Amino acid sequence: MLQKTSHFMRQANLINGEWVQADSGQTIDVINPATGLKIGTVPKAGGAETRRAIEAAEEAFKSFRKTSALERSKLLRKLHDAIMDNQDVLAELLTLEQGKSLTESRGEVGSSAAYVLWFAEEARRTYGDVVPSPWADRRILVTKEPVGVVAAITPWNFPSSMLSRKLGPALAAGCTAVVKPASQTPYSGLAWGALCEEVGFPKGVVNIVTGSAGEIGDELCTNPLVKKITFTGSTEIGKMLIQKSAMTVKKVSMELGGNAPFLVFDDADLDRAVQGAIAAKYRNSGQTCVCTNRFFVQEGIYDKFVEKLAEASKKLKVGSGLDDGVQQGPLIDVKAVEKVEEFIEDAVAKGGKIVSGGKRHALGGSFFEPTVISGAKSNMKFMKDEIFGPIAPVFKFKTEAEAIEQANDTEFGLACYFYTGDLGRAFRVMEGLKYGMVGVNEGIITTPEAPFGGVKESGLGSEGGYQGMTDYLDTKYVCIGGLGL
Ligand code: ADP
């Protein structure tokens, strides 16, 4: 097991088929959040290494773009198989650097493989059109072509699966890529390099650089060879990347922050709602962009819901992700814990009541207790800001209209959830919520078949679904004239 892990734990960057160190020889330490101990290092690369990676991707694009859709589909299917063959080892590596439970890591790696398989299938369906021509002697074709070199920047919360939604469609379309994984969790990203090599993607098709986010990001955004930036992370950094990419008019896909509301109506199946709430709140210790940020519960079942949610949250087993049966691992670092504490202090100062949890876990480090706060009010910080931690603030509402208004009162628009037993209400609320994704009586909804993406300041574009390919393809209109018909 350990030997296999070290095979995937690459402490080097992949540029043009070579595993290399930073020009300066400098490295960044990678820390296990469960122990605070160093796992290893990765190169601290900057602009020069990134430029070489982009040039390698551009060179590789010249031939990769000419491969047939079937060839790329077969390579992606092999990649899917390689991921699944190594699911346990890759999951262990993910837990080591990220902290989430092994169960969740296996799920994430499985999800990565599922996205790759989906895009292996979609690769063969990038159809164009033959459009009825207004001219008797001309024909109109519309074709799809890969955009070119794609830059992918990914976050630490899903270091494996976020890449599958970017590399999957990029490779399916015939693009080449330069990837920058988050510095906290680089190994799961670098492992994609080892896997792509293993299954036979040509050198330079996938390049991976780690290091200074600012320097690497600047090069990726300003280098004219890069035709598309795909990013998952904070809205703040996303806005900056859009601005920087504007000078070379790159395509951009942005999966940014969320502020997911979770509405529970009096007519809901309460136990189902609580079960969904636990999954939608505490998965990955609350560190996902689709995690519930605000619960809105109708007054008739408010007390019962709070009681059941608190009860269920207390049962969650907190510990090192590698230990058996653990459901909630540590937060990514102590800074994240301090941020969670600020949210709680603010809520308590404004009259919120801690019903369960509320403090650092007895295990120490960056472990935090799953927390439920009742009496949440709209002047509390979590009304507007993303918590990214295991706190469940519960607001009370009276009417459907009021619940929709409060749920929409945010600049974000990624995921939202609601529970009701009334069909008419289900449609009214679904249509009233200004979000890119809606779970009706479901707390976990992500799947490769469906388009994942936000509206408002939560992002641009979709990942997954047939829509997930479109941003990696240029549309070309071809007019064939002089046919003499
Ligand atoms: P979070 O830390 O919440 O995941 P960030 O937006 O800070 O969100 O980070 C997401 C990714 O963006 C990471 O890979 C990070 O290294 C990268 N990043 C951070 N700052 C920059 C930047 N200035 N340019 C490019 N990438 C950046």
Give the pTM: 0.96
Walk along the chain (485 residues) and give the pLDDT tens digit of each residue: 445 567 999 999 999 999 999 999 999 999 999 999 999 999 999 999 999 999 999 999 999 999 999 999 999 999 999 999 999 999 999 999 999 999 999 999 999 999 999 999 999 999 999 999 999 999 999 999 999 999 999 999 999 999 999 999 999 999 999 999 999 999 999 999 999 999 999 999 999 999 999 999 999 999 999 999 999 999 999 999 999 999 999 999 999 999 999 999 999 999 999 999 999 999 999 999 999 999 999 999 999 999 999 999 999 999 999 999 999 999 999 999 999 999 999 999 999 999 999 999 999 999 999 999 999 999 999 999 999 999 999 999 999 999 999 999 999 999 999 999 999 999 999 999 999 999 999 999 999 999 999 999 999 999 999 999 999 999 999 999 999 97
To test ligand 1's pocket by mutation, which of 42, 44, 153, 219 has the most ligand atoms within 8 angstroms of CB?
Answer: 153
CA nearest to 417, candidates 266, 297, 252: 297
Q: Indicate whether residue 16 lines ligand 1 (CB < 6 A).
A: no
Q: Could you tell me the distance, in angstroms and rounded to a whole number, from the CA of residue 241 to the centre of ligand 1?
A: 10
Residue with tokens 């092994």: 102
d(CA 247, CA 236): 19
Please give the full DSSP string across 396-423, using - where no structure is assigned.
Answer: EESSHHHHHHHHH-SS--SEEEEE-S-H
| CA-nearest residue, atom 18 of ligand 1 | 213
Is 289 marked active-site? Answer: yes
Residue with tokens 């207790």: 369
The residue annotated as part of the active site, out of 221, 289, 291, 416, is 289
